[in-house]
């Protein structure tokens, strides 16, 4: 049996998304920067996709900029806002994705900002009172806090963060890659400067994402070249990726509640079965439904001889999962997130992440294989 439970790393492409992309690849090959009919036709398609994304997020199409993915979007927001707004201080958490954490660390090394890391507790919950203390003492601040942690699944109250940033005149960027397509983001209600999305996290193609830039903000491009993306990102647009992203987000919004209920039930079931059948199991991060991303369950398993190669043992049984962020898999130092909350390194931690295609039968198979590992 083949079971894919690494959807926080990437999801499969929805067949309807593939159909849209293939149709465009087959019939719409013009360069959107060309002024002839073939080019204008494709330009119209790109702008229609932009409008689709903007409408779903309750934003203006002029606030949506397509990128190569979440990492580029995060870098563009952070680097260009620090340089463009005279930012001298930045605040983030030690548990952020490296696209944010490493970017801010590099900006500090270059002497462009002083960087403060927020306190987090043993569950990985960010101390927002600490955020307010730092904001009160530091004008001209950039705050970058993700909506949901990609390894633990912890949700942060970005509405409260937004209110604090507005109160103290800070710029607020949020990496919303893990929640885009799974939660609704109303950008007219949420006072935020930048958010990011990546299509492959919500059943779209890899290599395409977007950055939302609040219309009141003006920043310079990260990539210079042509006049694409209204002079904000040089380079020929990934037309087919953009088409796929818009369709995938449209489908995600259309079926969001139905998929949430299904996926949450799988997560609850797996947690229940693990608790019953694997003695000594525990869970990393917050697991209460209202505070936890319903697609992610981070499990801390008991130490054992077989457990030293847990992901390998699961893989040979056809089970795909992750030991943390896929972007740092293969690293000798392991997960900075799990280290940051003091998880015992002798206990194998596995991130199981779910999607609309997973089933209870798959969960039962995973549990049975884990039982066999611990029976040896």
Query: Residues 336, 242: one domain?
Result: no
Backbone φ and ψ of 319, nearest 5°: -105, 120
DSSP 8-state assignment for residue 368: H
Is 197 within 8 Å of 177 (Cβ atoms)? yes
Number of compact structural domains in the chain: 2
> How close are the terminal C-alpha atoms of the chain, in Å?
21
Query: Residues 270, 168: one domain?
Result: no
Query: Residues 196, 327: one domain?
Result: no
* Separation of alpha carbons 146 and 158, rounded Å: 8
CATH assignment of the domain containing 273:
3.90.1150.10
pLDDT (tens digit per residue) in 324-369: 544 545 545 689 999 999 998 888 999 999 999 999 999 999 999 9
Query: Residues 112, 136: one domain?
Result: yes
pLDDT (tens digit per residue) in 79-135: 999 999 999 999 999 999 999 999 999 999 999 999 999 999 999 999 999 999 999
Q: What secondary structure does DSSP assign to 1-53, as a single string?
A: --EE-BTTT--PPPHHHHHHHHHHHHH--S-TT--SHHHHHHHHHHHHHHHHH
Query: Residues 222, 277: one domain?
Result: no
pLDDT tens, per residue, the chain with 376 residues? 999 999 999 999 999 999 999 999 999 999 999 999 999 999 999 999 999 999 999 999 999 999 999 999 999 999 999 999 999 999 999 999 999 999 999 999 999 999 999 999 999 999 999 999 999 999 899 999 999 999 999 999 999 999 999 999 999 999 999 999 999 999 999 999 999 999 999 999 999 999 999 999 999 999 999 999 999 999 999 999 999 999 999 999 999 999 999 999 999 999 999 999 999 999 999 989 999 999 999 999 998 776 668 999 999 999 999 985 445 455 456 899 999 999 988 889 999 999 999 999 999 999 999 999 998 7
Residues sharing a CB contact under 8 Å with residue 271, sequence separation 6 or more, in sequence order: 283, 287, 297
* Separation of alpha carbons 235 and 265, rounded Å: 43
- End position of a domain, from candidates 254, 279, 306: 254
Active site residues: 327
Query: Residues 235, 281: one domain?
Result: no
State how beta strands 319-320 and 3-4 pair: parallel
Q: Which of 327, 322, 348, 286 is nearest to 97 (CA)?
A: 327
């Amino acid at each position: 049996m083949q079971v894919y439970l690494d959807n926080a790393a990437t999801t499969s492409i929805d067949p309807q998304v593939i159909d849209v992309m293939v149709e465009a690849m087959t019939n719409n090959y013009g360069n959107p920067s060309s002024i002839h009919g073939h080019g204008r036709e494709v330009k119209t398609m790109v702008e229609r996709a932009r409008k689709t994304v903007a409408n779903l997020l309750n934003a203006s199409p002029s606030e949506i900029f397509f990128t190569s993915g979440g990492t580029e979007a995060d870098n563009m927001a952070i680097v260009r806002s620090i340089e463009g707004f005279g930012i001298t201080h930045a605040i983030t958490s030690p548990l952020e994705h490296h696209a944010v954490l490493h970017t801010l660390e590099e900006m500090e090394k270059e002497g462009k900002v002083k960087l403060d890391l927020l306190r987090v507790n043993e569950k990985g919950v960010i101390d927002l009172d600490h955020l307010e203390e730092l904001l009160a003492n530091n004008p001209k601040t950039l705050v970058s806090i993700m909506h949901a942690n990609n390894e633990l699944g912890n949700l942060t109250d970005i509405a409260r963060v937004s209110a604090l940033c507005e109160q103290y005149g800070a710029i607020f960027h949020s990496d919303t890659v893990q929640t885009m397509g799974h939660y609704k983001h109303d950008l007219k209600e949420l006072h935020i400067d930048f958010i990011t999305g990546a299509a492959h996290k919500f059943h779209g193609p890899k290599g395409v994402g977007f950055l939302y830039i609040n219309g009141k903000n003006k920043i310079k491009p990260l990539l210079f070249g042509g006049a694409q993306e209204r002079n904000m990102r040089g380079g020929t647009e990934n037309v087919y990726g953009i088409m796929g992203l818009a369709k995938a987000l449209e489908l995600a919004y259309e079926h969001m509640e139905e998929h949430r209920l299904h996926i949450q039930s799988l997560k609850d079931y797996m947690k229940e079965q693990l608790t019953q059948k694997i003695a000594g199991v525990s869970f990393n991060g917050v697991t209460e439904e209202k505070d936890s991303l319903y697609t992610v369950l981070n499990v801390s398993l008991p130490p054992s001889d077989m457990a030293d190669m847990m992901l390998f043992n699961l893989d040979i049984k056809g089970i795909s999962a992750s030991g943390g962020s896929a972007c740092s898999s293969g690293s000798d130092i392991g997960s900075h997130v799990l280290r940051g909350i003091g998880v015992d390194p002798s206990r194998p931690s596995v991130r199981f992440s779910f999607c609309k295609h997973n089933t209870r039968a798959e969960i039962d198979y995973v549990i049975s294989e884990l039982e066999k590992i611990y029976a040896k």
